[in-house]
Amino acid sequence: MELTNQLRRLRFDNNEMTQESLAQKVGVTRQTIIAIESGKYAPSLPLALRLAQVFDRPVEEVFAFAGNGKR
């Protein structure tokens, strides 16, 4: 099931935060942020929670299943 995310929009809404800056805040490489934003990589639950924490949003607002999420 495909996972969508709002990371790019949230970064721009937060003073155009760079991928590098976000990566440092959550303790991953910039390439991982790029992979998550492009939907190539689904982050682990702890990383997803850390990303949501950076933007002070609930995790389901940052990550969601594509469509209605039902199989």
Partner 1 sequence: MTATQKQHTFNLIVIAITFALFFAAAPFIGVTHAGGFLGLMGFLGFGIFFLWKRGQSTQVIADERDRAIQQRAFHVAFAIFWAIFVLACVGAWLIYGDNGAIPIRFLPVIMYCSWGLWQATQSIAVLIQYRTA
Residues that bind partner 1 (CB under 8 A): 23-24, 27-29, 31-32, 35, 40-41, 43-44, 47
Q: How far is the CB of 47 from partner 1 (least distance, A)?
A: 6
Q: How far is the CB of 23 from partner 1 (least distance, A)?
A: 7
| Contact present, 52 and 61 (Cβ < 8 Å) | yes
DSSP 31-51: HHHHHHHTTS-PPPHHHHHHH
When the beta carbons of 4 and 13 are compared against partner 1, the nearer one is 4
